[in-house]
Amino acid sequence: MPTVNLWATDGYVGTPDGKNVYIWGFTDKEGGAAQLPGPAIIVKQQPYLIPTVVTVNLTNKLAEPVSLVFPGQGEVRVNGQPAQPQYQGDKLVSFINHALPGETITYQVTLTGPGTFLYESGTYPHRQVQMGLHGAMIVRPPDYLGLHPEKQTAYGRNTGTEFDREYLLVLGEIDPGLHQSVEHGLPYDTGEFNPRYRTINGKCWNGTVSGDGDGHLPARPYGSMIMMEPGEKVLLRCAGAGFESHPLHPHGNHARVVGLDGKLLQNCGISGTTDLSFKRFTILTGPGQTCDLIYTWTGPGYEPDTNPIPTRLPQIRKMALAPTGLTMWSGSPYLGVKGELPGEIESCNQIGEYHFMLNSHGVPGITGQGAFPGGMPAMIAVYPAGTLEPHHGMLPTESHTP
Amino acid sequence: MKVKLRLGATDGWVGTPDGGSHYIWGFVDLTGVPENKLSGFRGKAQLMAPPIVLKVEDEVYLTLTNLGTPDRKGLKEPHTIHLHGFPNQIPVYDGVPEASMAVPVTRDLVYYYKPLDPGTYLYHCHHKPAEHIQMGMAGPLIVRPRDFDPTDIEYKTAYGHGTGTEFDREYFIFLSELDGTIHNLVAKAQEPDWTNYKPTHWLINGRSYPDTVNTTDRFPGQPWPAAVGANVGERVLLRFVNLGFQQHAISIPGVDFRVVAVDAVRLQGLNGEDLSYFKNIIYIAPGQSMDAIFTAPEAPDLYPATLPLFNRNYNKNTLAGGEMGGMISEVRVYAPGTLPPQAAPSL
């Protein structure tokens, strides 16, 4: 059974406008700095009828109590006892047993089934979860087998949730005023919550278009640059870790919602349709909610010689390009073709891949510090067939099993 | 069928019932306008943007012409059209400037698409979208099913023959908000801070109540009333689009909506089962669309009977937080045979 060691500690994250924001967060490296979001806990469920119990040892390096709640999971035991809310006198401190500063506490969590979930602090959550004490938990089905066409699924074989690549998108907000008050021990009012930054995996545009393990953003190891090939099924695991709802619109196609809150969308009765998944062009992830989406883009198959695009493009030099200083465009309308962009334009395009925005439709969800662009646009990059490694974008099958 | 359309991007002014006048950016229909008459449309942006009505398998060539902003001459803002919800688009026709190109003042770009799925969609400018959508560059888009025939009761449908989406009349319920402070800043060439976004007016089809139910023609920049009319017993299709930045909750006490589609996808199971459902309030997020059908209820001694349509977020049914206004409109039910057939949506 998997065992995860987490430390609750502090750290800093940078913002696109050059500020350093103080955070609290989790790390799975002893002595490490806080990560935003916390380390993804990825576990594989035991075969049918065998309970899967994950052990999480939490060591608290912060100066106030910290705990862990596991929404959507089954029984939780703490240091071997049933979990209980914690009070100081008659005042609620924590939804669950916490670790005092310097203490280590052990949670044993019985999983309910495959899906995408959150874990987060249950202690003063209005402050601690906003400060960054949250992360994602992914449970793989017992028959999961990576790179197997029928067994690489979100919810198990024959559930219609096969995928070719997967990406984790933890959605959140940062109110820098609140973070600053916490850093300096000043009072604050969460009723005045004013998130100046909306984040995907802790990052704002254009950090959202860098890949995993970007050396410039060590506190935020999960990328949100979605890379795929035409026709592939891409599993997007969205988790709402903030206080707001985020309506995400993937350009280029609808997405099929296959799971909500870590539950397969399936009729529980014995009559009628079995599959209750649905397609949307805007998917709302509420606070604490998770949505598993499967996105595909096949395309109309334009080729310069055999199937040219049906319009004549204007002279590119006379058009408005790279409005924010850089472009993801190749300069060509064709997939896999690099066109000619004016020399002064800085393009991030690699091999003529197509870029489709994945953006929040709620403003100021797409602004940072009050200005566009910032916040929640990310990109879905469609690469020509056969150019991406099969494992690209894949999260590990299990994260913390020795 | 080959369909050629042309939209101009420009600025303009709109009114609110509290006497306010607000600077906007928006689109205006230039389809069929000769080149030497284009300049006459500068400054004539419309809120909501002109509805686009297409049919499955149309080959759509949509030209965007940037007419500039005569009331802010120094501004050289590029624009685009993003056809929101069209599957398998390619980036040069998708309108995202960071992934293709935008149209500078005096220039054109032709967007192409061949819709294959019927439904209610939306379009908007995607250049600095927070600002350009809020300033008014957003409108609804309908794709009719391949077999659509307005003269045949079985084929006048939202999603095709036999899909349970037959209707007699259709109306846009196009939802947005207007932050008067931000519009004022943009008019004065100042940068708004989007964290402070705080709408003062809530609009249906570009108007605030009571302008929503005013069917006279005194709003050149806001040509679309939001009053819904039907003869008793008729099936009314409401095409909801939310291109504001807030969630909205639209209700018509006295009628049950049957939600037949969300985001231009008919509600059906994997084997074609009807998964439509009844609702009293349409709760809709930014960037979503919903199609809901209701039957105009009987009111024998009252024709024309009036049913209020409003936002259950009552704080959005005001004029700048004061008197009643905002996202309120009316459904009027007439005696049988009173209203002639509709010539176009929302008319």
Q: What pLDDT, on the 0 to 100 scale, is given for residue B333?
A: 97
pLDDT at position A25 over 60: yes
| CATH code for the part of the protein at B171-334 | 2.60.40.420
Q: What pLDDT, on the 0 to 100 scale, is given for residue B7?
A: 98
- Mutate which of A251, A307, A376, A379 to disrupt the B interface (most B C-beta within 10 Å)? A251
- A313 CB neighbours in chain B (<8 A) are 92
Q: What pLDDT, on the 0 to 100 scale, is given for residue B46?
A: 98
The Cα of A87 is separated from the nearest Cα of chain B by a number of Å equal to 36
The Cα of B328 is separated from the nearest Cα of chain A by a number of Å equal to 22
Q: What pLDDT, on the 0 to 100 scale, is given for residue A363?
A: 63
Could you read off the pLDDT of A83-135 as tens digits, one per residue?
A: 999 999 999 999 999 999 999 999 999 999 999 999 999 999 999 999 999 99
Inter-chain touch B134–A363, beta carbons under 8 Å = yes
- A355 CB neighbours in chain B (<8 A) are 91, 96, 98-99
The Cα of B82 is separated from the nearest Cα of chain A by a number of Å equal to 9
Q: What pLDDT, on the 0 to 100 scale, is given for residue A366?
A: 66
ipTM: 0.95
Tell me if the domain spanning A3-295 has CATH number 2.60.40.420: yes
pLDDT at position A304 over 70: yes
pLDDT at position A183 over 80: yes
Inter-chain touch A319–B267, beta carbons under 8 Å = no
Inter-chain touch A273–B102, beta carbons under 8 Å = no
Give me A206's structure tokens. Answer: 């254009």
Q: What pLDDT, on the 0 to 100 scale, is given for residue A372?
A: 66
For B54, half-sphere exposure in the C-beta direction (CA atoms, 13 angstrom radius) is 31
Residues A328 and A340: their CA atoms lie apart, in Å, by 13
Cβ-proximal residues to A88 (8 Å cutoff; 6+ apart), any chain: none
Q: What pLDDT, on the 0 to 100 scale, is given for residue A208?
A: 75
pLDDT at position A5 over 60: yes
Inter-chain touch B246–A362, beta carbons under 8 Å = yes
Neighbours of B12 (CB within 10 A): 24
CATH fold for the domain made of B2-148:
Immunoglobulin-like (2.60.40)
Report helix, strand or coil for A10: strand
User: Judging by DSSP bridges, how do beta strands A38-44 and B82-84 pair with one another?
Assistant: unpaired
Contact B172, B205 (CB under 8 A): yes
| pLDDT more than 90, % of chain A | 77
pLDDT at position A215 over 60: no
Tell me the mean pLDDT in the region A192-196. Answer: 89
Q: What pLDDT, on the 0 to 100 scale, is given for residue A28?
A: 95
User: Judging by DSSP bridges, how do beta strands A134-140 and A38-44 pair with one another?
Assistant: parallel
pTM here is 0.95
Burial of B20 (0-12, 13-18, 19+ CB in 10 A): middle
- Mutate which of A206, A311, A334, A349 to disrupt the B interface (most B C-beta within 10 Å)? A311
The Cα of A342 is separated from the nearest Cα of chain B by a number of Å equal to 12
What are the extents of the domains in chain B? 2-148, 171-334
Task: Name the band, by pLDDT with cuts 50, 70 and 90, for residue A212.
Answer: low
pLDDT at position A220 over 80: no
Which candidate from A253, A328, A371 shows the least CB-CB separation from B87?
A: A253
Domains B2-148 and B171-334 equal at CATH topology level: yes
Q: Does A275 touch chain B (CB under 8 A)?
A: yes
Which candidate from B92, B98, B285 shows the least CB-CB separation from A284?
A: B285
B212 to each of A324, B88, B125, B224, how far by Cα in Å? Answer: 38, 36, 24, 8
Q: What pLDDT, on the 0 to 100 scale, is given for residue B322?
A: 87
Tens-digit pLDDT string for chain B (347 aa): 999 999 999 999 999 999 999 999 999 999 999 999 999 999 999 999 999 999 999 999 999 999 999 999 889 999 999 999 999 999 999 999 999 999 999 999 999 999 999 999 999 999 999 999 999 999 999 999 999 999 999 999 999 999 999 999 999 999 999 999 999 999 999 988 888 899 999 999 999 999 999 987 678 899 999 999 999 999 999 999 999 999 999 999 999 999 999 999 999 987 788 999 999 999 999 999 999 999 999 998 899 999 999 999 999 999 988 899 999 999 999 999 999 999 999 98
For B158, half-sphere exposure in the C-beta direction (CA atoms, 13 angstrom radius) is 34
The Cα of A400 is separated from the nearest Cα of chain B by a number of Å equal to 37
Tell me the mean pLDDT in the region A21-44. Answer: 96
Task: Name the band, by pLDDT with cuts 50, 70 and 90, for residue A353.
Answer: very high
